A and B are shown apart, each in its own frame.
Chain A
């Protein structure tokens, strides 16, 4: 547990020092969402109807973008070996890296999302639910992405492979999140969809680190 926190702190320091991956993901999210009014046209009714989907698709692409090198640097420079020999379990390493990833990409998305939603005319009643869906959903994206990032370790051209592996798995959180936001926009209860999202999170939280750890052990052997 202490090792977990120690690792998360180191990862946050590393990201703050270099800043590239996390900053790029956030910038990608902002730019992508900004592009849609140009592509679709500025009519508030049309934008408002697709806003939930735009926010979410942009968020999951931004997550994917920053995911590719999650374990790569630690794998290449021998840090993974050293951590395992120091008695840190592969599961703890995976959990720490995923948690740090969410803190530097998912959390900033959560903060910027309302501004971007205003830009694309998200219906006024849906803001709270959108935040809730992102709060429950972006950790799921980071967790699932973590499995993919561990699986592509050591592969050349891993980025394309990662997208193929992970994007299909992003479909369930996408459906429930957009369902929740749309329900709120229509004045219906978003509760069932949010509960499904919460269920996905409850399942991914223990399972994803175990799966990612298995993949890490596989490449090191």
Chain B
């Protein structure tokens, strides 16, 4: 079952065409890995899919599912949205409570555990390292369940063990019928992942469809 599809989308940033004619189809349990050189528009594509940007042309469609109560998108971008004055736990409790007030704290604690940062629960966000902030940011995916994860360079700043945990969570998410779109330069082990190469969609370049 397709949960997200994009038809021939083109993206323009600051008056410059970044990519065009990008089509994709994401199935429940599926994964798409977006690759391309720096500036190829990987981040823009994810923001387009999330609805944070509007495509210049084309359309993005999501298929609602009556028996999936999760919200549509979980997004991890370059900015970690970690508040420096709140503790790691409070940061997650806020997002957990925003999604669902019931047992927000318990869910936040579980998410800290999933990314092995329980020992940082009481430390303020400002003293966390880049990798620890990234783990906290990934924890947000777990406290506010979403059907489609849009991950923009999720493994940046993560150590090897962190990457392994991320891969494990992605696998669990796929098993629960969720889909993942990842933009990355690093090889992540994701079951059944298709690759979307934005190089083929550079403006001025001949695309697969001509």
Determine if A85 and B81 form an interchain contact, defined as CB atoms under 8 angstroms apart. no
Q: Given A76-B79, A77-B81, A78-B79, is A86 in contact with B99 using a C-beta cutoff of 8 Å?
A: yes
| A81: nearest chain-B partner, CB-CB | B52
| Of the residues B53, B75, B79, contact of A85 by C-beta under 8 Å | B75
Chain B residues contacting A7 (CB-CB under 8 Å) are 98
Determine if B101 and A82 form an interchain contact, defined as CB atoms under 8 angstroms apart. no
B159 to chain A, nearest CB (A): 22
Determine if B80 and A77 form an interchain contact, defined as CB atoms under 8 angstroms apart. yes
**Chain B stretch 83-110: residues in CB contact (< 8 A) with chain A:** 83, 85-86, 90, 94-95, 97-99, 101
Determine if A84 and B80 form an interchain contact, defined as CB atoms under 8 angstroms apart. no
Chain A residues contacting B54 (CB-CB under 8 Å) are 221
Q: Is B8 an interface position by the 8 A CB rule?
A: no
Determine if A18 and B52 form an interchain contact, defined as CB atoms under 8 angstroms apart. no
Q: Is B77 an interface position by the 8 A CB rule?
A: yes
In whole angstroms, what is the CA distance A88 to B82 when docked?
A: 18
Chain B residues contacting A17 (CB-CB under 8 Å) are 85-86
Determine if A81 and B144 form an interchain contact, defined as CB atoms under 8 angstroms apart. no
Determine if A82 and B85 form an interchain contact, defined as CB atoms under 8 angstroms apart. no
Q: Is A191 an interface position by the 8 A CB rule?
A: no
| Of the residues B52, B73, B86, contact of A14 by C-beta under 8 Å | B86
| A13: nearest chain-B partner, CB-CB | B86
In whole angstroms, what is the CA distance A221 to B13 when docked?
A: 9
| Of the residues A18, A77, A87, A88, contact of B79 by C-beta under 8 Å | A77
Q: Is A79 an interface position by the 8 A CB rule?
A: yes
B24 to chain A, nearest CB (A): 19
Q: Is A157 an interface position by the 8 A CB rule?
A: no
Determine if A10 and B99 form an interchain contact, defined as CB atoms under 8 angstroms apart. no
Interface string of A194-221 (1 = CB under 8 A from B): 0000000000000000000000000011
Chain A residues contacting B77 (CB-CB under 8 Å) are 78, 81
Interface size class of B (residues with CB under 8 A): 20 to 34
Q: Given A13-B86, A86-B144, A221-B54, is A81 in contact with B98 using a C-beta cutoff of 8 Å?
A: no
B68 to chain A, nearest CB (A): 15
**Chain A stretch 63-120: residues in CB contact (< 8 A) with chain B:** 76-79, 81-88
| Of the residues A2, A76, A83, A220, contact of B101 by C-beta under 8 Å | A2
Secondary structure of the A side of the interface? helix
Chain B residues contacting A221 (CB-CB under 8 Å) are 52-54
| A2: nearest chain-B partner, CB-CB | B101
Determine if B144 and A220 form an interchain contact, defined as CB atoms under 8 angstroms apart. no
A24 to chain B, nearest CB (A): 16
Q: Given A78-B80, A85-B75, A87-B71, is A14 in contact with B95 using a C-beta cutoff of 8 Å?
A: no
B79 to chain A, nearest CB (A): 3
Determine if B79 and A6 form an interchain contact, defined as CB atoms under 8 angstroms apart. no
B188 to chain A, nearest CB (A): 21
Q: Is B172 an interface position by the 8 A CB rule?
A: no
Q: Is A165 an interface position by the 8 A CB rule?
A: no
Q: Is A163 an interface position by the 8 A CB rule?
A: no
Determine if B81 and A18 form an interchain contact, defined as CB atoms under 8 angstroms apart. no
Q: Given A2-B101, A13-B86, is A82 in contact with B81 using a C-beta cutoff of 8 Å?
A: yes
| B104: nearest chain-A partner, CB-CB | A6
Q: Given A2-B101, A76-B79, is A85 in contact with B85 using a C-beta cutoff of 8 Å?
A: no
Q: Is A3 an interface position by the 8 A CB rule?
A: yes
Chain A residues contacting B53 (CB-CB under 8 Å) are 220-221
In whole angstroms, what is the CA distance A2 to B100 when docked?
A: 10
In whole angstroms, what is the CA distance A1 to B101 when docked?
A: 13
**Chain B stretch 27-80: residues in CB contact (< 8 A) with chain A:** 47, 50-54, 71, 73-75, 77-80
A14 to chain B, nearest CB (A): 6
| B77: nearest chain-A partner, CB-CB | A78
A170 to chain B, nearest CB (A): 30
| Interface set of A (CB-CB < 8 Å, partner B) | 2-3, 6-7, 10, 13-14, 17-18, 76-79, 81-88, 220-221
Q: What would 8 A/B residue contacts be, using CB atoms closer than 8 Å? A: A13-B86, A17-B86, A77-B81, A77-B83, A81-B75, A82-B75, A82-B81, A86-B95
